[in-house]
């Protein structure tokens, strides 16, 4: 091979020419400026977002490219494993994470929900210890929701949020003690098309949803939260590697320097909700150690990630009906026990998974049975060593709190419980075989739930009560990815029905025929989105990006 050398003078001229091409990066608001949007999209806030993108847009794309490479390797037979190149981190017993910040020490029960004004008020009145203010899976990313959520949070933090519903009912925060807010920005893979970033070389691209959500919330609220002794705190979704955690740590460090607050003021809790991340939990904690409060077992996205990661690797990786994949099956039990052990080894809180049951007064007997299941789930988590847990509805808070009170007593946490009895192997994490059936009802349920959720999402509603459960983007992902996998793996239901494209298409038609059609519904579009993400030859990594770009973007 011949190597052509470039003379130093020529190299310098090329560098100078490249530098001459550079201009100042800009961030343009492409969406409409609705009422009060100017309070959030201030010139100062946009300047901060511009610098975030100038520094971190490139590394973000690098991390997303790493995801594609890793997914290709796993699809071709190279299983995830505990990394050899980071063994020194796991073997060093001396380092610890920063731990909880002020107002985050007590996390026994956390409630999750979107950030529209009414849901914000409901969460703050709920009696939970923490509110996960969700700009991601529970929020449909319409432009009004994205900026409206920032307005609601800004007002709530300052104690001035009220809301009047269309029927004239007024809502306000009445709780004497409100939950500590932990905001969840969108994942690294999501974009914000209503803001357009042009880099120093004139290349224009959609802004990063992660950087927009984080940047606007942090810029407007960090000093106020510090003054109130309760923040700024974040939940980090969809991470797949410690390198992605390192990128967030770099964002936090820059943001702290930008507004002049001490390094380590920000605290983050990472959702371990992807299969690759389960193999790098210690490394993720290490990269974020100066800003890290703990890890959360994001159960629904974790199930989705397991299906997505092993969708093409054969029948032994096929999961049964969605409701059969409980937290007591082998691979889920292995993942959660490893999470508790990892957290407590490093002084981090371990937060349990979501109970998505929505209480109903119409069927007291069914309600009682469901509450018993919720109690059993929280009893298991507390007994396993978790320091807190998630619920989707205020009525579940007393049930969850009672189970954690019984184990924790007067303690704020049980981080001192090391769980040295736990020894989890890669094989246990990857043993997806459950040995239970796929049923006709399970297939139809996935089609029905996914289409009904997507229809609501297209109307701007990101958290939806369907058949007694709170559904969000994560549970819709499980439903559509199972359909895709069952078709590709030529599965047959317990009743003998082959799961084919034709059969699923007939179920889509059935769902549309049974849907409560009204003026302004978006069921036809929802069915179109579902067909794309469940029946196409190519598997889409996430259902929302294309649906967002084609159906939710409204540029001024």
Active-site amino acid positions: 184, 472
Contact indicator for 329, 449 with CB cutoff of 8 Å? no
β-strand pairing of 233-236 with 204-208: unpaired
Q: Which of 376, 375, 372, 355 is nearest to 470 (CA)?
A: 355
Burial class of 439 by CB neighbour count within 10 A (0 to 12, 13 to 18, 19+): middle
Q: Which of 499, 550, 500 is nearest to 526 (CA)?
A: 550
Q: Which of 103, 196, 149 is nearest to 555 (CA)?
A: 196
Contact indicator for 443, 499 with CB cutoff of 8 Å? yes
Please name the residue ranges forming H helices in 76-181: 87-91, 117-124, 143-157
Burial class of 20 by CB neighbour count within 10 A (0 to 12, 13 to 18, 19+): exposed
β-strand pairing of 170-172 with 162-164: antiparallel
Q: What tokens were used for 241?
A: 């590697």
Tell me if the bond preceding 48 is cis, omega within 30° of 0: no
Q: Which of 482, 463, 331 is nearest to 390 (CA)?
A: 463
DSSP 399: H
Q: Provide the 3-class DSSP secondary structure of residue 313.
A: coil
What is d(CA 245, CA 288) in angstroms, rounded to the nearest whole number?
6
For the CA atoms of 55, 58, 60, 64, the dihedral, rounded to the nearest 10 degrees, stands at -170
Please name the residue ranges forming H helices in 169-208: none
Q: What tokens were used for 205?
A: 């691209």
Contact indicator for 261, 227 with CB cutoff of 8 Å? no
CA atoms within 13 A on the CB side of 87: 3
Distance of CA 70 to the CA centre of its chain: 20
């Amino acid at each position: 091979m011949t190597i052509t050398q470039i003379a130093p003078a020529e190299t310098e001229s090329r560098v100078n020419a490249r530098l001459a091409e550079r201009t100042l990066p800009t961030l343009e608001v492409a969406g409409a400026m609705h009422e009060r949007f100017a309070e959030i999209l201030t010139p100062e806030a946009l300047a901060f977002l511009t610098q975030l993108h100038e520094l971190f847009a490139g590394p973000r794309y690098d991390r997303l490219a790493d995801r594609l490479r890793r997914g290709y390797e796993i699809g071709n037979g190279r299983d995830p494993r505990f990394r050899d190149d980071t063994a020194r981190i796991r073997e060093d017993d001396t380092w610890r994470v920063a731990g909880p910040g002020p107002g985050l020490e007590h996390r026994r029960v956390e409630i999750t929900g979107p950030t529209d004004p009414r849901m914000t008020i409901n969460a703050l009145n709920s009696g939970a210890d923490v509110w996960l203010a969700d700009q991601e899976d529970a929020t449909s990313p319409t432009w009004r929701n994205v900026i409206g959520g920032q307005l609601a949070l800004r007002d709530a933090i300052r104690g001035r949020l009220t809301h009047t519903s269309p029927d004239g009912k007024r809502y306000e925060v009445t709780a004497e003690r409100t939950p500590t807010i932990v905001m969840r920005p969108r994942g690294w893979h999501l974009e914000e098309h209503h803001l357009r970033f042009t880099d120093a070389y004139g290349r224009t691209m959609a802004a990063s949803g992660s950087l927009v959500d984080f940047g606007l919330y942090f810029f407007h609220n960090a000093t106020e939260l510090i003054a109130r002794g309760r923040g700024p705190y974040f939940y980090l979704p969809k991470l797949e590697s410690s390198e992605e955690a390192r990128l967030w740590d770099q964002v936090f460090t820059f943001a702290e320097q930008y507004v002049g607050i001490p390094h380590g003021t920000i605290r983050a809790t990472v959702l371990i909700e992807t299969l690759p991340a389960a193999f790098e939990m210690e490394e993720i904690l290490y990269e974020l150690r100066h800003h890290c409060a703990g890890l959360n077992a994001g159960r629904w996205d974790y199930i989705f990630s397991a299906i997505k990661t092993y969708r093409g690797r054969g029948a032994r990786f096929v999961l049964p009906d969605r409701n059969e994949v409980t937290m007591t099956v082998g691979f889920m039990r292995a993942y959660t026990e490893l999470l508790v052990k990892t957290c407590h080894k490093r002084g981090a809180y371990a937060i349990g998974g979501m109970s998505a049951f929505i209480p109903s007064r119409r069927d007291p007997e069914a309600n009682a049975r469901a509450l018993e299941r919720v109690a059993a789930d929280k009893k298991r988590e507390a007994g396993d060593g978790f320091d807190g847990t998630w619920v989707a509805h205020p009525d579940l808070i007393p049930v969850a709190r009672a189970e954690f009170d019984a184990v924790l007593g007067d303690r704020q946490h049980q981080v001192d419980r090391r769980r040295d009895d736990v020894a989890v192997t890669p094989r246990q994490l990857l043993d997806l075989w459950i040995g239970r059936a796929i049923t006709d009802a399970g297939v139809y349920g996935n089609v029905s739930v996914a289409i009904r959720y997507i229809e609501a999402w297209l109307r701007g509603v990101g958290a939806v009560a369907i058949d007694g459960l709170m559904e969000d983007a994560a549970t819709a992902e499980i439903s559509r990815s199972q359909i895709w996998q069952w078709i590709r793996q030529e599965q047959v239901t317990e009743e003998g029905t082959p799961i084919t494209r034709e059969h699923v298409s007939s179920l889509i038609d059935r769902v549309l025929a049974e849907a409560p059609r009204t003026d302004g519904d978006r069921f036809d579009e929802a069915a179109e989105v579902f067909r794309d993400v469940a029946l196409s030859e190519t598997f889409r990594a996430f259902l929302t990006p294309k649906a967002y770009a084609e159906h939710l973007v409204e540029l001024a």
